[in-house]
Amino acid sequence: MEFNRRAFLKSSALAGVAVGLPVLNTAFFVDPAHAADGKALNFMSAENLTGNWDPSSHTTLAQINLESFVFGYLTRAPMRPDNPDELVMELATEMKLIDEHTLEFKLREGVTFHDGKPFTAEDVKATFEYASQPDRPAAWYPGTCEVEVVSDHVARIKTDKGGYPASLFWFLSAFLPIMSAKDVADPKTLSARPNGTGAFKFVRQDGNTTVLEAFDGFYLGKPTLPGINFNFVGDATTRTLALLNGEADLIERLEAEQVQSIEEAGGFKLNKAVSVENKYLWFRCSKAPFNDPRLRKAAAHAIDRTVLLDILGVSGHASKAWISPVKFGYVDTPNYPEFDPEECQRLLAEAGFPKGEGLPELEYITSVGFYPKTKEYGEVIAAMLQEQGFPVKLNVMEVAAWNERLYDRPGGGPGHMIDCGWSTGSPEPDLVLRTHFHSSSKRICGIEDKDLDAVLDKERNTLDPAARKAVIQNEVMPMLAEKVPSLSLFTSVFIHAMRNGLDGMYFYPNGMMDANKATLA
Amino acid sequence: MFVLSFLLRRLLQGSLIILLVTFIIFTLLRVVPGDPARLIVGGMAPDEVVAMKAKELGLDRPIPVQFVSYLGTLATGDLGTSFVRPKSGASLGGAAFDDQTREERAKVLDLILATLPMTLQLAMVALVIALLVAVPLGTAGGLYPGRWPDKLALALGSLCVSTPNFWLGIVLTLFLSVKLKFLPAIGYRGFSYTILPAIVLAVEIVPFILRTLTVSVAQVMREEFIQLAPIRGLSRSRTIFSHALGNSAIPLINLLGVQLGMLLGGVLVIEFIFDYPGLGLLTINAVLQRDFPLIQGIAIFISVMFVAINILVDLIAMTIDPRLEY
């Protein structure tokens, strides 16, 4: 074909017109994106999912939030600060401690899974016996257990072989999604799609959007909302803009400045709640120099936590314990290590490092992008520690790199200190205390301490709830204040923002949600 | 015949460039912090599981050995399999080490091909917007050097070049989408979601087209064949449209080839801000998640595109002006 400049100009002009034609269609210009009546709820999540729908395969908060729509739980724990111990029955109608190692659940009748299979005690048995295996990564269970199926709708959790009291499942029952026995028998299917008894069923994964639709057979009746689009949008500014322009109906994890913009814009409402998540400064206790508790305590005394709260604004709540105020057993620990430079210097000198002299360079790892203001308060903590003589180097990483360095390893986890929060949707305190401070788990700090083990075992094995609470408040917390495997910096305040037309949502203090009574006008 | 030898020469040069880019990216990704084996198996996995996974993936071999075996699979057109993304293309993180669905991971090429049309659409719309603004103004600037069209072109170019795209993206969304409800933004549910990000991208391209066109039109207008056009009895408009513009287009076409790199750089930020599901967002998430095969695949794919477009641009420029030699 002859190709001269005239032909080139002509064809490029034609191509321009062809591409430009749709732009000239005025319908495109009057297309304000607004969710209207009868449309699915658009939720924007700050974190991504794992790609494995087996609830026992991960500890990822976003997926736990999504599971709260799809799966059913034996009970639910609203965890209101004025009544943190309250449990609301869901798949169970009654629970009773038969003896030290047996907890009986009477189960609701007439409940079905999204694939149509009726819910029975066999599903509880399959779920508990599978997810409590020590090789399940989520490790929310205190140990292995067995389940006796008394009848179709009565199941008994037995913990005698696991060697721990069955009462631990009292609060945990609100945090363990119930899977179908049929799925548990077929791990491939279990991982490939979520199948629960919740108000919304999984339809498909569409890029970064998980599409859920209202489940006709939900035992409380089909929800009013026709569906939920669960989108991952990593950037907080983008999430805020999406709410403001109507793309999103509900967003999470906001910072103070964004809260202000949303409040000023009008037409939106906020849900601020003291969460179940504490943010900690974790010391790597299994390697030098923080294998010396005096140094950990000295570092804790170097930090003025009131400054951190000033930086966080609405996103932080003062903390004086290793669990959140909405957890069972919270107490303002009397000997909590407060800002005290003199005590810090005394401990430094006692540990053989007067004014920090002789200490190696200490790496403090933090993340940016997920938790609010981590870099900002990380810099302040580093400066406070440096002022007392700790040669701290702050290492700010994006979430994936930080996540890779988070957990303890043989010989100690990377760096010397690391920033991380811990959020679990149950009032059960051992999801934090035992997970992190007992030598059998020691997830991040890597502490191995016989005294701590003993007091944590005592707390776990105390059957009477009031007596157990007393052990936590009078023995566990004071000992943690002495050993300081980590310093609880503050309790996070979870902020959800939504359109004024969205009513009836319930937000649990760990970020889980209940939308079965929600309406969107 | 000349075209054939030209193509052969340029394709050989291009292959060398692609090989070099592949090697650099491959090596860089293996020396930066972030162990892919640990990433796949998850933070909680024991060290022996990490070592086993590294062995399984061949990550324990020396880099040159890994590179040669990578080239082998690359030669079959296989860009590898994403470490973290399943076939649905979702953005993932925090997966467990005994993930049963691992073999269901998506092919890198599929992920790229699924998002590429979105980015091409964005780039095309941006280019059209940029040309619509810059061609008339740039031509006018070149025709009247030193006078107001030239000054306006310079002022607009300076304004555009000094406006950061992430800032403009947020401000435009606030005004055009949030306040005026004129255009949708954030995500993608139809063609209209392309317009706002395309405007931001166009603002990045406009100054370069403006500057090139102003200078090149002014230069061509001083050429003898234009100066002598009135003597040949040609009207001014005929001279401009039939003779001056065609010749001024050559540097512009060359520039557009080079601009592709900038366009791709621009879409990274813009797609992230607008949550626009194109190649840019895929790249950013791949980097954030240390998804090495995906980063590698995208880099190689982009370098191939870059080389191909530059060859095409040279070919077109040569067709317009056969005196050009490459």
Per the CB < 8 Å rule, is A60 touching B94?
yes
Contacts of B97 in chain A (CB under 8 A): 137
CB contact under 8 A, A207 and B249: no
Model confidence over A382-427: pLDDT tens digits?
A: 999 999 999 999 999 877 678 778 888 888 888 999 999 998 878 8
Q: What is the mean pLDDT of residues B121-126?
A: 91
User: A137, B97: Cβ pair inside 8 Å?
Assistant: yes
Query: With pLDDT > 70 as the criterion, what percentage of chain A qualifies?
Result: 93
What's the rounded Cα separation, in Å, for the pair A199 and A179? Answer: 14
- pLDDT digit string, tens, across residues B125-150: 998 999 999 989 988 888 888 889 88
Mean pLDDT on A289-305: 96
Kind and range of the H or E element at A498? Answer: strand A486-499
Residue in A32, A190, A210 nearest the CB of B181: A32
- Chain A neighbors of B177, CB-CB under 8 A: 32-33, 241, 245
pLDDT at residue B80 is higher than 90: no
Q: Residue A50 and residue B44: Cβ atoms within 8 Å?
A: no
- Other beta carbons within 10 Å of B218: 18
Contacts of A205 in chain B (CB under 8 A): 86, 88-90
A369 contacts on B by Cβ (under 8 Å):
288
| Three-state DSSP class for residue A384 | helix
CA distance B93 to A63: 10
Give me the phi and psi of B241, to 5 degrees please.
Answer: -70, -35
Using the predicted structure, report yes or no on whether residue B44 has a pLDDT greater than 70.
no
Q: Which of B47, B90, B173 sits opposite A208 (nearest CB)?
A: B90
Of A208, A246, A403, the CB nearest to B43: A403
Is the pLDDT score of B100 beyond 70?
A: no
pLDDT per residue over B48-60, tens digit each?
Answer: 777 887 787 777 7
- Asked whether the beta carbons of residue B93 and residue A409 sit closer than 8 angstroms, the reply is no
Residue A403 is encoded by which pair of tokens?
A: 């996540």
Tell which residue, A77, A79, A75, A78, has the closest CA to residue A326: A79
Interface check for B106 against chain A (CB to CB < 8 A): the answer is no
> What is the model's pLDDT at position A395?
93
Cβ separation of B319 and A57 shorter than 8 Å? no
Given a contact cutoff of 8 angstroms between Cβ atoms, the answer to whether B172 and B196 are in contact is yes
Alpha-carbon distance values, B98 to A144, A188, A453, B94 (Å): 19, 12, 29, 12
A513, β-bridge pairs: A507
CB A207 to CB B88 under 8 A?
A: yes
Contact with chain B for residue A519, Cβ under 8 A = no
Q: How confident is the model at residue A293 (pLDDT cuts 50, 70, 90)?
A: very high
The answer to whether B249 contacts A233, with C-beta atoms less than 8 Å apart, is no
Give the pLDDT confidence score for residue B33 in this predicted structure: 60
Exposed, middle or buried: residue B30 (CB in 10 Å: 0-12, 13-18, 19+)? middle
Is the confidence metric ipTM above 0.90 for this complex? no
Cα–Cα dist A45/A374, whole Å:
19
A221 touches chain B (CB under 8 A): no
Best CA proximity match to B70, nearest among B51, B56, B57? B57
Answer yes or no: do A241 and B173 touch at CB < 8 A. yes
Q: What is the pLDDT of residue B77?
A: 81
- Whether chain A has a CB inside 8 Å of the CB on B43: the answer is yes
Q: Which of A14, A202, A240, A247 to mutate against chain B (most B CBs within 10 Å)? A: A247
Worst-scoring range by mean pLDDT, A95-104, A388-397, B76-85, B166-175? B76-85
Q: Which of residues 286 through 315 in chain B touch A, CB cutoff 8 A?
A: 288-290
d(CA A120, CA A178): 10
Question: Is B190–A50 a contact, with Cβ atoms under 8 angstroms apart?
Answer: no
Identify the CA nearest to A346 among candidates A410, A390, A396, A294: A294
**Cβ contacts (< 8 Å) between A187 and chain B: which residues?**
100
Angle at which helix A5-24 crosses helix B245-274, to 10 degrees, equals: 30
What was the pLDDT predicted at B107?
86
**A48/B277 touch (CB, cutoff 8 Å), yes or no:** no
Phi-psi region of A504 (alpha: psi -120 to 50; beta: other; left: phi over 0): left
| Residue A112, pLDDT above cutoff 50 | yes
Whether the pLDDT of residue A86 is over 70: the answer is yes
More confident residue, A490 or A408: A490
Using CA coordinates, name the residue in chain A closest to B43: A404
Is pLDDT above 80 for A22?
no
Q: Name the pTM for this structure.
A: 0.78
